[in-house]
Amino acid sequence: QQKVQQSPESLIVPEGGMASLNCTFSDRNSQYFWWYRQHSGEGPKALMSIFSNGDKKEGRFTAHLNKASLHVSLHIKDSQPSDSALYFCADDTNAYKVIFGKGTHLHVLP
């Protein structure tokens, strides 16, 4: 069964620091991924998608995809306390059935 594993479960970074979140997937046919962010008490919101090998940058956020190593990551530069949230990696390759990882709790300390 197609799986998405996220690490670490929890991450603490200082304000202004770099946060790196990782995701591995099991299906070599997987090719389209989203990152979602969920603040406490809210529903998840899409951050960015990536489907090509390499990096994709949107502001302070950079997603990286390496299909050969079955790995996708999200890097947050200059982390802010408002970035504190639960982050999900999602495999959106198979139409209609998005597979989510269990999430990484990011805590940015002022």
Partner 1 sequence: EAAVTQSPRNKVTVTGGNVTLSCRQTNSHNYMYWYRQDTGHGLRLIHYSYGAGNLQIGDVPDGYKATRTTQEDFFLLLELASPSQTSLYFCASSDRGTGQLYFGEGSKLTVL
The binding site for partner 1 (CB under 8 A) comprises 32, 34, 36, 42-46, 49, 88, 90, 92, 95-98, 100-103
Nearer to partner 1, 44 or 79 (CB): 44
Complex with partner 1: residue 73 or 104, whichever CB lies closer: 104
| Least distance in angstroms from the C-beta of 42 to partner 1 | 6
Cβ proximity to partner 1, 35 vs 108, nearer residue:
35
Residue 74 contacts residue 62 (beta carbons within 8 Å): yes
Contact 85, 104 (CB under 8 A): no
Closest distance between partner 1 and the C-beta of residue 44, in Å?
5
Tell me which DSSP letter residue 29 carries. T
H/E stretch holding 21: strand 19-25
Amino acid present at 97: K
